[in-house]
Structure 1
Amino acid sequence: MLPTSRQILFAVSSISFALIAFALYLQHILEMRPCPLCVIQRYMFLGIGVCTLVSAISGKVREGTILALLAGLGGLYAVGKHLYVIANPGFSCGIDPMETFLNKIPTAEYLPWLFRADGLCEGATDVVLGLAIPQWSAIWFVVLTVLLAWVLVRRKA
């Protein structure tokens, strides 16, 4: 028996929040500083998690899934740019207007432990289980985006 759309949304939400928790572990325990593109990806995972959780709880599956899917697509764009930066040494997003802008957003000012960008994008090459963190992020954005698209196109369940 296939899981219901709401069960899938709860799972997607749980995975998204777990990924944020893992990012915080990497930042605060392993002292890996997040770059601007990492922070944007955090916002996108958080967007997916919140939208799917609210959608699953409220029963408004279509609306929440569409918003979460938009966050997933935004995350795919951000991680694609991040992978491009890593693959092309010399192309940097380091200390630039994007970092300054991100660090001035109220969420970054009030929750700097979660949303402050102070690392270099091209330096995000630390490996976990054989892949760099942005590669893992890309895999999870693909998985979550595919699940969200499947929820939208499947029959009501």
Structure 2
Amino acid sequence: MSLASPRSLFFAAFIFCLAIMGGALYLEHVLGQQPCPLCIVQRVCVIVFGLICLLAAVHAPGRGGQRGYAALALLSAAAGAGTAGRQVWLQNVPADELPACLPSLDYMMQALPLQDIIRLVLHGSADCAEVNWTLLGMSIPEWSLLAFAAMILFSLYQLLRRR
């Protein structure tokens, strides 16, 4: 039995990322769920993962290139999983222990140096701990963490796969 080609699997992963971003945009623009800074970082990680997979599908590299693309995709998925994990953790911290709300990302980009923006965004705030929407009892960050776990498994499969 022949397994799917690396090229078709990378393209399927790209389609998976399109579906995730479609869902995120639906939640934002139709249901009115405003993304917090950690959500935006997760979106960037999904987009980077998807673009890496699209590039791998279009390029159709040999074994070394496949591993290179898989390693880059793994880094992106791991960064997203770390961010989603941080947000899930924040949602389980008592409200009185959370830092105050952050200013908007646009304001921080204009007023603060990059390292302060990264520190504040990754530290999280009360905004990131709100659970305003669930599906099957899981919040958006929990679904994101599940999606990033799937991306990590996919990347590891592509990285360790033999032809």
TM-score (norm 1): 0.81
CA RMSD of aligned residues (A): 2.3
Which structure would you say has the larger Rg? 2
Change over 3 Å in CA distance of 1:35–1:102 after alignment to 2: farther
Distance 1:24 1:128 in 2: 16
Please state how far the C-alpha of 1:10 moved relative to its aligned partner: 0.9
Matches within 5 A, 1:8-157: 8-60=9-61, 61-90=66-95, 91-92=98-99, 94-95=101-102, 100-101=107-108, 120-156=127-163
Q: Partners in 2 of 1:93 and 1:45 — Cα distance?
A: 27
Aligned pair count? 142
Further displaced range: 133-142 or 88-97: 88-97
Q: Residues 101 and 138 (structure 1 numbering): CA distance in 2 closer, same or farther, change over 3 Å?
A: same
Q: Distance in 2 between matches of 1:127 and 1:49?
A: 24
Note the C-alpha offset of 1:124: 3.3
**One-letter amino acid matched to 2:15:** S
Counterpart residue identity of residue 25, structure 2: L
Residue 96 (structure 1) shift: 5.0
CA shift, 1:92, in A, is 4.0
Whether the 8 Å contact between 1:86 and 1:124 is mirrored in structure 2 is yes
Cα gap change, 1:103 to 1:11, in 2 (>3 Å) = farther
Please give the TM-score of this superposition, normalised by the length of structure 2. Answer: 0.78
CA shift in 2, pair 1:29/1:2, >3 Å: same
Gaps of 5+ in 1: 105-118
Secondary structure in 2 matching 1:120: helix
Distance 1:35 1:58, change over 3 A: same
5+ residue gaps, structure 2: 112-125
Give the partner amino acid of 2:79. Answer: G
* Identity rate, percent: 28
Of 124-133 and 145-154, deviating more is 124-133
